[in-house]
């Protein structure tokens, strides 16, 4: 019996796929189809796949052409599969010509002509893209954010509102709408990404939501709890998505770390300690350690221990008139745990995250907020485990993808719950108003 194997993502199954499977089947007597797992696709840079693995497997099964379906999970698996199943022929479409010649050592390799004029990418792109405008003056962040747009189907950045066009990338300068008038931008887009001065957020978000425009806004969304509440209410009333942007929440390593904790791998969590620092050479009036770093550092505290703490204390070292903090430490006391964050823009420390448990701890080395790596550590070091996950675009592209899906599915799919958004806002507001703040 001649055994044939072929691999693919098979997202939104189309006649190009079916033609390929038909011809693959005709090459032998028994056809095995390998369908790529979501994680494997991610590491290959395919993050736009619309259907789940189960749906894609079902679609291939429904063609009736596969005698067996397997899942492709890791690099190098093809060789293992060929040996394991005693494969005679490996085949894929001609778009891969030459790429799999190395498999000739194990079986015959056949490239079949690709069907012209159709692909999953094109079908995905045909769904009309949601237009987006970006708002802000800080070029490094704006440039990075704009450049991530190409990885996400379903959204298209078409304009910018800024007062600092000179420092923006050429790609930004060439957007269709380039303006410093926020109203002009809002009149031409369906969604906005806001990375402006914190004091402008409330007005800018409110204006957008009142026009039915979806908003992705860098954290903290607001520095005042009542204002934030009002904004979420307007969003609900107008069927808009209002999503807080903290890219760390979308980094694969960080998300996996949270899942591992939930499965009890270090016992009960007793302490969360996060440090974020960047020594900045800015004017003193532009130093805002807590506002700039606080949300990121607070994220693991609230996501791991919740927001129901008993007490908190904010300790800050200010550069002038209680506004610009060089260094801030926040201590939390929970019923059965403690947490502490340290953030600084005029002091330097090791930017690590340590989660202490009753049976072991998790160590995330600096800079933990854009990490691709962490360790599970135990008393008995031979039980230690290391985890590595690719960090694509520092999490921004997954954040953008989540925003698009939220708009498409009309529900907030954010990794940051509304409750955590409120708690971050509350901390910011207390800091602004000097509540529970100790000056050093
Ligand atoms: N294929 C084909 N003709 C097409 C599209 C795909 O013969 N028009 C083949 C590919 O060469 C591959 C298999 O179908 O052997 C599965 O391809 P897959 O990557 O899942 O499909 P694409 O439509 O190419 O997906 P994408 O646009 O995401 O790359």
pLDDT at 141: 95
User: Hey, is 241 helix, strand or coil?
Assistant: coil
CA-proximal residue: ligand 1, atom 9 (nearest): 93
Ligand 1 neighbour 121 (Cβ under 6 A): yes
- The Cβ of residue 283 has, within 10 Å, a number of other Cβ atoms equal to 8
Which two tokens mark 305?
A: 């221990």
Calpha distance 50→433 (Å, rounded): 45
Calpha distance 401→352 (Å, rounded): 27
Calpha distance 200→180 (Å, rounded): 14
**Helix-helix angle 418-433:289-305, to 10 degrees:** 140
Q: Give pLDDT tens digits along the chain (440 positions).
A: 999 999 999 999 999 999 999 999 999 999 999 999 987 777 666 677 888 899 999 999 999 999 999 999 988 999 999 999 999 999 999 999 999 999 999 999 999 999 998 998 888 877 778 999 999 999 999 999 999 988 888 899 999 999 999 999 999 999 999 999 999 999 999 999 999 999 999 999 999 999 999 999 999 999 999 999 999 999 999 999 999 999 999 988 999 999 999 899 999 999 999 999 999 888 888 899 999 999 999 999 999 999 999 999 999 999 977 789 999 999 999 999 999 999 999 999 999 999 999 999 999 999 999 989 999 999 999 999 999 988 877 889 999 999 999 999 899 999 999 999 999 999 999 999 999 999 99
Task: Please state whether 395 falls in left (phi above 0), alpha (psi between -120 and 50) or beta.
Answer: left
CB 373 within 8 A of CB 300: no
Calpha distance 266→268 (Å, rounded): 6
CA-proximal residue: ligand 1, atom 10 (nearest): 93
| pTM across the whole model | 0.84
Ligand 1 neighbour 9 (Cβ under 6 A): yes
pLDDT at 328: 98
Atom of ligand 1 nearest to the CA of 91: 15
Atom of ligand 1 nearest to the CA of 95: 11
Could you tell me the distance, in angstroms and rounded to a whole number, from the CA of residue 72 to the centre of ligand 1?
15
Ligand 1 neighbour 203 (Cβ under 6 A): no
* DSSP H stretches of helix in 129-218: 139-148, 170-173, 182-186, 198-210
Atom of ligand 1 nearest to the CA of 96: 11
Pocket test for ligand 1, best of 13, 17, 23, 46 (most atoms within 8 A of CB): 17
Pocket test for ligand 1, best of 119, 127, 151 (most atoms within 8 A of CB): 119
The helix (H) or strand (E) run that includes residue 159 is strand 155-161
Could you tell me the distance, in angstroms and rounded to a whole number, from the CA of residue 63 to the centre of ligand 1?
15
Could you tell me the distance, in angstroms and rounded to a whole number, from the CA of residue 29 to the centre of ligand 1?
22
């Amino acid at each position: 019996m001649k055994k044939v194997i072929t691999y693919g993502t098979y997202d939104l199954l189309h006649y190009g796929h079916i033609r390929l499977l038909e011809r693959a089947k005709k090459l032998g007597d028994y056809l095995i189809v390998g369908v790529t797992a979501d994680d494997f696709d991610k590491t290959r840079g395919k993050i736009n796949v619309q259907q789940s693995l189960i749906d894609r497997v079902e679609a291939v099964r429904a063609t009736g052409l596969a005698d067996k379906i397997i899942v492709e999970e890791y690099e190098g698996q093809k060789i293992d599969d060929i040996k394991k199943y005693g494969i005679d022929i490996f085949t894929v479409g001609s778009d891969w010509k030459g790429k799999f010649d190395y498999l000739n050592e194990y079986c015959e390799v056949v490239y079949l002509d690709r069907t012209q004029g159709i692909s999953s990418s094109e079908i995905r792109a045909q769904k009309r893209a949601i237009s987006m405008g970006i708002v802000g003056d800080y070029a490094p962040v704006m440039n990075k954010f704009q450049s991530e747009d190409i990885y996400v189907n379903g959204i298209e950045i078409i304009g910018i509102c800024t007062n600092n066009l000179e420092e923006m990338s050429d790609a930004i300068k060439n957007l269709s709408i380039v303006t410093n008038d926020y109203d002009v931008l809002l009149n031409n887009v369906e969604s906005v990404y806001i990375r402006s001065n914190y004091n402008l957020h409330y007005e800018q978000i409110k204006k957008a939501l009142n026009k039915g425009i979806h908003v992705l806004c860098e954290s903290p969304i607001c520095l005042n709890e009542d204002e934030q509440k009002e904004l979420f209410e307007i969003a609900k009333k107008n069927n808009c998505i209002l999503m807080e942007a903290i890219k760390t929440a979308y980094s694969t390593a960080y998300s996996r770390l949270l899942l591992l904790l939930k499965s009890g791998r270090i016992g009960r969590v007793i302490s969360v300690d996060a440090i974020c620092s960047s020594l900045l050479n800015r004017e003193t009036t532009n130093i805002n350690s807590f506002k700039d770093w606080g949300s990121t550092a607070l994220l693991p505290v609230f996501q791991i221990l919740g927001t129901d703490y008993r007490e908190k204390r904010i300790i800050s070292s200010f550069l002038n008139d209680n506004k610009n903090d060089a260094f801030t430490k926040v201590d939390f006391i929970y019923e059965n745990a403690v947490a502490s964050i340290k953030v600084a823009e005029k002091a330097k420390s090791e930017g690590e995250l340590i989660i202490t448990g009753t049976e072991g701890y998790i160590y995330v080395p600096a800079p933990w907020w854009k990490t691709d790596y962490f360790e599970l550590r135990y008393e008995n070091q031979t039980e230690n485990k290391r985890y590595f996950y690719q960090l694509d675009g520092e999490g921004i592209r997954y954040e953008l993808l989540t925003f698009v899906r939220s708009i498409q599915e009309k529900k907030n799919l954010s990794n940051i719950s509304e409750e955590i958004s409120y708690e971050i806002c509350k901390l910011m507001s207390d800091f602004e108003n000097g509540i529970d703040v100790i000056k050093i």
